[in-house]
A and B are shown apart, each in its own frame.
Chain A
Amino acid sequence: MKLDSMYQDVILDHYKHPHGRGLRDGDAEVHHVNPTCGDEITLRVRMDGSTVADVSYEGQGCSISQASASVLNDLLVGKELAEARRVQETFLELMQSKGRIEPDDAMEEVLEDAVAFAGVSKYPARVKCALLSWMAWKDATAQALGDGSAEHVEDKAGRKAEERTA
């Protein structure tokens, strides 16, 4: 059944048992919403030098948006920033693929559980749900690092690209 390609067990597990949920101390906090459907996330990033020390979040939304935040927490916490950014960019590429990318081993190595979202990329209305926390993380990280202007502009461009896709 096609629905199972979107609602992979991994996604449903993360939805029912989210990892790292709840707001903890952070260097920056952002609030992102999906205006078409009302999904919301408040997300904080704490950096320890160039390491992502914590990503904490609180939000409401569908299984896809909530599971995606949980997977993000699993994947990014403890990573070096450059590596975390590579994960984020790879996830963005997958989600914008309209189902055309079949994740290979290399991609699976980078994305781990997040490859389960490959099926979601076939549903344009749901891509934004999957990307909500990832865009929030990018925004919060830019603010935490204090290089607001340049990063922020880049982020806005990224979000616009995503809106076009979705």
Chain B
Amino acid sequence: MSDKSHDPNQMTGAAMIVRALIDHGVTDIFGYPGGAVLPIYDEIFQQSEVQHILVRHEQGAGHAAEGYARSTGKPGVALVTSGPGATNMVTPLTDALMDSIPLVCISGQVPTHLIGNDAFQECDTVGITRPCTKHNWLVRDVNDLAKVLHEAFYVATSGRPGPVLVDVPKDVQFATGTYHPPRKSDVHRSYAPRVKGDATQIRKAVSLLANAKRPVIYSGGGVINSGPEATKLLRELVEVTGFPITSTLMGLGAYPASGKNWLGMLGMHGTYEANMTMHDCDVMLCVGARFDDRITGRVDAFSPGSKKIHIDIDPSSINKNIRVDVPIIGDCGNILGDILQVFKAEAKKPDIKSWWQQIAQWRARNSLYYKKSNDVILPQHAIQSLFELTRGKDTYITTEVGQHQMWAAQFYGFEEPHRWMTSGGLGTMGYGLPAAIGVQVAHPDSLVIDIAGDASVQMTMQEMSTAVQYELPIKIFILNNQYMGMVRQWQQLLHGNRLSHSYSEALPDFVKLAEAYGGVGLQVHKPADLEGAIKEMIAVKRPVLFDCRVAALENCFPMIPSGKAHNEMLLPEQANDEATAKAFAAGKALV
């Protein structure tokens, strides 16, 4: 037997954690110290390969890690203590699960012998996070730690990506054991996500595509998760087939907004042309999207006349909400490659000229129309100006949740994937500011803007302090209408205009607030001043809170009233009181 004290793989659990991070190429982690993770923080202190970003609240660490992951395609890592540290991670973990974001959370736990004793800062972390992670582990033996950490990274990043959590009791962090670098046998034999699509199904899909008269491609976040190759292939498929393409909120940027086949986003606040194309199509190719209720509207009236092809890496996404004709399970990059190959070899571009003429008529309805004003800034106009003034720059956009998020999706044109970070599935207010921090850490020289609302941004405002500490020049572009705009919009449409608790009576002075944090505050009221102020914001190389005072009562259209079909959209010019009352008459119970 060799002397174990000279074996470089003998180390404490805490050292293993840092070593595993390094072995998985992690350079930045987001966290907050506490009693149950002190041994890990001690290791972090004594090395320089992994940079730790100290947040102000664990939720901020989680969203920052999400922003980091979404903008890079690499897993985001968060480190939190036991008890409240872990419970504060529940929101970001759930958010990452809904949006398939690879996230590795390491949480401290009370020592093994105290588990179950209601010890100080104890909670059943694996129990609490079981339904909001792809998988989680409680490590009771230091000699299992290396294997579990490597498996955690693999599970988070492979198949349909998602969040994982490794709970490490403090005594395991102190204990010495044997570390090993990542190896194949670290992973459950029961976990083997399917990557390659079935050849017969691919042929069926190509045959449908080749004979389509009224086709549409509907792409989602899965294309972006699959990596740059999938984006490239999607663009090529659009080029080769000449088909119109729309996308979910999560999929924006996979096909460029300036592309000639682009219909705009679909769904509840999607464009009229995108939704009508979906409704009237005869062949639908869904790539890496999951037919969720914000996309489909009323499911029994969803695209009634079409054959549907669904590419998804998660078999449970198939036939969950909408029955499809040709499911293809596997990685969308891989399958798009196969479809292209077969299509190019055996089919030619279908003639869909009359379909495009029909789409042009829908487009002519100009569903994103809004009336500009010289007196007050329209929120749509603010986003358009922001887009024009940042076009061509190396820009990343995050958002909070609400009207501003939908306007950002409608009016900011994304040309590339990984440039748009938003909380789609869970709809987490307070996501955007910490996410912007994560993005800026990953891309220190880029322009990172959080398009925010005055209500959402206050949910995680404390992370301004993080931005200032690490000199992260994030720009928080607040569309300030003094309301929880989307809540108010639903109250106006569905609850007899009784605006119950959706008005912010006591907003902070955002300029002073920025200055109090050590950042820069800007405020603009007049449309004439908007452009200059945005330019100033971009020029400042420090964190900025930009208080953009916008028309308070503007609402977000077009809109599919919940529970209605795609062809029952409410367009902005129709959204007078009577029409809205009628459209929403039956919808009170809807979400």
- Is the A/B pair a real complex? no
Residues of B within 8 A of A (CB): none
Residues of A within 8 A of B (CB): none
